Amino acid sequence: MSSEKPLIFISCGQYTEAEKLLGKNICLLLDELRPDVSHYFAEDQSSLEGLSNHILKALFRASGFICVMHDRGTLETPGKRVVTRGSVWIEQEIAIAAFMHHALGRTIPILFYKHRAVTVEGIRSVLLMNPRLEFTEESEVLHNLRLALPSTPFIPFKSYDVEPILSYICINRGGGDRHTYVLTADVQNVGTERVTDFELRLFFL
């Protein structure tokens, strides 16, 4: 078992001072309500090295994903439909989290908040990703998080980890209280690395 705290990835806009303040306040709220976790507030990265060493690695290790999508203005599609776009960065981080879930089998809690004006489009429309709240003021996000965080389970990321899987079948029901069973003891790899050697001990009481 790893003693490392679960890492919560915070994806929040940083275009305005209000957006930056919201991201920092989410960090403070986690410190207050969930001292059992650590957090990563994605800072702007201007280089490929910074992107891979910080944002992508933090996303991969994340045990939880808090996502706040602000609006980034409107545009008209070729079909004359007016849509309100969300942050490109946050759309990409949502796509990475979706890849981790569907391709890598790593399911983590996602607390998604969307500004009321933002249109459902892109991978979010395929995933049917419903926000916990459609907000107009940043304070609404903090209020909802204060209610949600205490009961949200965050499991630490571990590269090597297995879980026991026990099952049995009855092959003979003899007379009286004597029954014969076959017990199957196996493990499931729930980490991210291939496990080639393990030891399983069973105790019968």
Q: Residue 31's Cα: distance from chain center in Å?
A: 18
Residues whose CB is less than 8 angstroms from the CB of residue 134 and which lie 6 or more positions away in sequence, other chains included: 113, 114, 115, 116
Phi, psi of 106 (to 5 degrees): -105, 100
Q: Which domain holds residue 58?
A: 7-151
Position 1 scores a pLDDT of: 38
Domain boundary among 129, 151, 173: 151
Strands 71-76 and 82-86: antiparallel
Q: Residue 193's Cα: distance from chain center in Å?
A: 19
Q: Is residue 2 part of a domain?
A: no
CA atoms within 13 A on the CB side of 94: 26
139 and 194 in a single domain? The answer is no
Containing H/E element for 71?
strand 71-76
* Confidence (pTM): 0.70
Residue 179 bridge partners (DSSP): 173
The token pair at 57 is: 């690695």
Q: Residue 121's Cα: distance from chain center in Å?
A: 20
The token pair at 121 is: 């489009």
Position 35 scores a pLDDT of: 95
Residue 68 bridge partners (DSSP): 12, 113
38 and 137 in a single domain? The answer is yes
165 and 126 in a single domain? The answer is no
CA–CA separation, 86 and 70 (whole Å): 6
59 and 138 in a single domain? The answer is yes
Position 2 scores a pLDDT of: 43
136 and 169 in a single domain? The answer is no
Domain boundary among 118, 136, 151: 151
Output the tens digit of pLDDT for each of the chain's 205 residues: 345 789 999 999 888 899 999 999 999 999 999 999 999 987 655 555 666 668 888 888 899 999 999 998 888 878 888 888 888 888 888 888 888 888 877 888 999 999 998 887 766 766 657 889 999 999 999 999 999 999 999 988 776 666 778 888 888 776 667 778 888 888 777 666 666 677 777 777 6
Residue 66: how many CB atoms within 10 A of its CB? 28
CATH number, domain of 102, equals 3.40.50
**CA angle, residues 79, 85, 86, in degrees to nearest 5:** 155
